[in-house]
Structure 1
Amino acid sequence: MTATSTGVSVALPIDGRLEPYILGAPGVWTRPKRPIVSRVAFAAAHVIPLATADSTPGAPAVLDWEATLAYRHELWSYGLGVADAMDTAQRGMGLDWRATAELIRRSGGEAASVGGRLACGAGTDQLDLAGLPSGSAGLARIVDAYREQIDVVTEAGAQVILMASRALVRVARSRADYLYVYEKLLSRVDRPVILHWLGTMFDPALHGYWGSADIDTATDTFRTLVENNTAKIDGVKVSLLDAAHEVALRRALPGGVRLYTGDDFNYPELIIGDAQGHSDALLGIFAAIYPAASTALQELDNGNAARAAEILGATEALGRHIFAAPTYYYKTGIAFLSWLNGRQAGFSMVAGLATGRSVPHLAELFRLADKAGLLSDPELAAHRMRIYLELNGLGS
């Protein structure tokens, strides 16, 4: 984003050997002076474990509440909504329901204190998949589990995001089963919700969601659900990393139903849009690029679409790298960038997920974040990068 050199240098592993890399200056980002109105935008925030916690696979999640909630305040300060308790917060990858419920309640209180926009995921991850009955009994248990979580989200004052359910994949035998469960849930909500369609690149356990592994057949079921329940649906979040599919779905949605892009590869073009419309945003990458994302949305508010596209486009390489296959480890990159920028004391994650990416991957993330102007304190970022490399046998 910026060619200005800081003179700060780090030896990075490039093509198998250490090469000097000189950091540029941070981008010139602005916090909005008034609410952002051209797009509805949520950043899906990550969670930060307590440094003294047993953050090993299978251990209960113990969060650093001060740091975790401070990150949410940082996102709100840039005019973005926070999407909490989502896959970015390691739902299904270390964050258990007990910790999730507390996160929702605490985030709700913090959102109310600053007037921040908050939406939270409601799913079924408190269920024991191995003990689920089949047939109507299993579907009934799934509905009850969803309702328990919906109640927690609603009581926290947050908007409900209906997350995809691994349990439903296990029990459902047809598209009718999906429609039955979702229509049961929508019949009881008192505020329009966001439906989340999460692709298998984010969670392989969701293969065949909506009753079919064929994308066109699944889309038909999804559209049927939306069209039959328009008054109860604020929007749909689609995380399939398929821009053409998203645009076609967006154009086919009933009036008043938003398309919240979950495409962390193609978000610049989808958010900017075209003559026939645009996507709003509910993105994990926004938790990493939030200063740039906010500044771009402010430019859209001011009618400067070309400048907005330029800013978002300059972050695209970073987004594609963070969300590269295996995509479900993208959370590691978001936590690493948070640590580089001083938003958490250590590079640690619930369930030991900090080991989910390699040294070369995170070194390239460092370089791309710098190129995008997203290392807020180059001296600190360089210092921490050197520590990380030394701990992994590189440097001295």
Structure 2
Amino acid sequence: MALPRPDGTLAEVELLPAPEGAERGAPPRSRVAYAAAHVVADPLTSATPAAPGQVDWPATLAVRERVWATGLGVAEAMDTAQRGMGITWPDVQTLVEASLARCTELYGSPDGRVVVGVATDQLTGPADLAAVTDAYLEQLDFVESRGGTAVLMCSRELARAARGPEDYAAVYGTVLASARRPVVLHWLGAAFDAQLRGYWGGGSLDAATEVVRAVIADSAGKVAGIKMSLLDADREIAMRRALPDGVRVLTGDDYNYLDLIAGDEQGHSDALLGAFALCAPTAAAALRRLDVGDEAGYRELLGPTVELSRHVFAAPTSYYKTGVAFVSYLQGYQGHPRMLGGLEAGRSVLHLARLVELAGQARILVDPERTAHVVRRWLAALGIEGA
């Protein structure tokens, strides 16, 4: 098909298919892997920053069912699901309950198939440390009482209230002491959310790393792992080599996941990635190659997805969610590219056209002919003919 270029011309591109049969498969054995799933908006409701709109619940659950079918787990209610950018705490509660219940219905238990973001986003105004702690505890209890495993997400409210490392240590210490099962910590860099700049209170990334390690050491047995989303591969490798036995690093590095998951002679990272929401069938098939020691096959399948991911997560990185929803639209998983809060406007037509091209090259499209039809219809609605 033809796609628009910055000079106003159309250029022919080829859309290649995903590996045959990749839409279904057993969970990988050699790596723990979660795709951070998005939410599908109801296109008939208001979708502006002032009136974010409503979630299309059947379509949103169908996204999760497709991820589970590939063999990957779902990282539920994370930043990909527009935490802090459109989804409300009441809707998060509905989402978590529905996702955990559906996974249990399909697989008998959510264990190993769902982890759930726990944050403090029910707070609506300035909050002190006590209020932040209480908000974390409320969400943690909500998730765990429904059988979920928590990911303690970074808190914008804590970043505003904390005055130094000791405040982070106090809040996390209290919350971890209350956890009924081991949780995953979450370190989201400022590239993803500028309001988290200086998180952990250390003043530098080196100092913050020491704070994180101390929090983990002081809560032995309470931390199963940490998701690192700093877009800094060397720092992630150093962290995983320094952590106690049994504590995993789940990479959230959407630029460098190929090598981090493959690992080295001293270990590997597992995965909790928004990027895997773009390419779940291909990613799961690639990880099953690692199960049988076929690293070359793993790289052959997953390697082409990296350029796509880097494009989707390009600055301003927080708008990567637009690309995730758009790929779902390309796949025919939803009938429109609309998002809560009107976030579909976060990327330009040319950015999305390039995304289509890279998706075709990355072999993630389950039905390229259907995708080409969707793209032609989308471009025609924008007044771009001839694709």
Show CA shifts across 1:361-396 (max 9, x none). 101100000011112222221122122222333226
Q: Deviation at 1:33?
A: 4.9
Contact 1:58–1:94 (CA<8 Å) still a contact in 2? Answer: no
Q: 1:324 aligns with which of 299, 308, 314?
A: 314
Counterpart position of 2:351: 361
Asked whether the equivalents of residues 18 and 282 of structure 2 are also in contact (C-alpha less than 8 Å), the reply is: no
Out of 365, 371, 374, the position equivalent to 1:384 is: 374
Deviation digits for residues 195-241 of structure 1, max 9, x if unmatched? 00000000000011000341101111111111111300000000000
Q: List per-residue Cα deviations over 1:109-164 (Å, max 9, x = no partner).
A: 011112251111010001023x32xxxxx111111111111112112221100000
What is the distance in 2 between the residues matched to 1:228 and 1:76?
34
Q: 1:340 aligns with which of 314, 330, 346?
A: 330
Match of 1:260 in 2: 250
For residue 88 of structure 1, the aligned residue among 64, 67, 80 is: 80
Q: 2:70 aligns with which of 67, 75, 78?
A: 78
For the 8 Å contact 2:16–2:362, the answer to whether it is kept is no
Q: Distance in 1 between matches of 2:345 and 2:187?
A: 27
Question: In angstroms, what is the RMSD of aligned CA positions?
Answer: 1.4
C-alpha spacing 1:263/1:53, structure 2 compared with 1 (3 Å): same
Corresponding residue for residue 230 of structure 2: 240
TM-score calculated relative to the size of structure 2: 0.96
Residue type of the alignment partner of 1:123 = A
Distance of 1:355 and 1:71 partners within structure 2: 22
1:41 matched residue in structure 2: 33
Q: Give the Cα–Cα distance (whole angstroms) in 1 for the partners of residues 102 and 47 of structure 2.
A: 25
Alpha carbons 1:299, 1:305 under 8 Å: kept: yes
More off after superposition, 193-202 vs 374-383: 374-383
What secondary structure is seen at the aligned counterpart in 1 of 2:15?
strand
Matched, 1:114 2:106: yes
Q: 2: CA distance between counterparts of 1:31 and 1:365?
A: 21
Q: Is the 8 A contact 1:61 1:99 kept in 2?
A: no
Work out the CA distance in 1 between the residues paired with 2:200 and 2:284: 33
Q: How many residues align?
A: 382
Q: Give the alignment's TM-score, normalised by structure 1.
A: 0.93
- Structure 1 contact 238–260 (Cα < 8 Å) conserved: yes
Aligned counterpart in structure 1 of residue 205 of structure 2, from 211, 215, 222? 215
Residues 105 and 152 of structure 1 are in contact (CA less than 8 Å); yes or no, is this contact kept in structure 2? no
In structure 2, C-alpha distance between the alignment counterparts of 1:64 and 1:377, rounded to whole Å: 23
The aligned amino acid for 2:55 is L
The answer for the alignment partner of 1:3 in structure 2 is none
SS of equivalent to 2:5: strand
Equivalent-residue separation in structure 1 for 2:210 and 2:21 (angstroms): 41
**Who is 1:170 aligned against?**
160
| Partner-residue secondary structure (3-state), 2:228 | strand
Alignment match of 1:203 (pick from 167, 179, 193): 193
**Which residue of 1 is the match for residue 43 of structure 2?**
51
| 2:183 paired residue among 187, 193, 218 | 193
19, 22, 33: which is aligned to 2:11?
19
Gapped regions of structure 1 (runs ≥ 5):
1-8, 133-137
Residue identity matched to 1:121: G
Residue 166 of structure 1 aligns with an amino acid whose one-letter code is: R
Question: Aligned equivalents of 1:312 and 1:213: distance in 2?
Answer: 36
Paired amino acid for 1:63? V
Aligned to 1:97: 89
Separation in structure 1 between the aligned mates of residue 155 and residue 37 of structure 2, nearest angstrom: 20
For residues 38-83 of structure 1, give each alpha carbon's deviation from its aligned partner in whole angstroms, at most 9, with x where no partner exists: 0000100000011222122122541111110011010000111100
State the one-letter code of the partner of 1:153: V
1:178-200: per-residue Cα shift (whole Å, max 9, x none)?
A: 00000000011110000000000
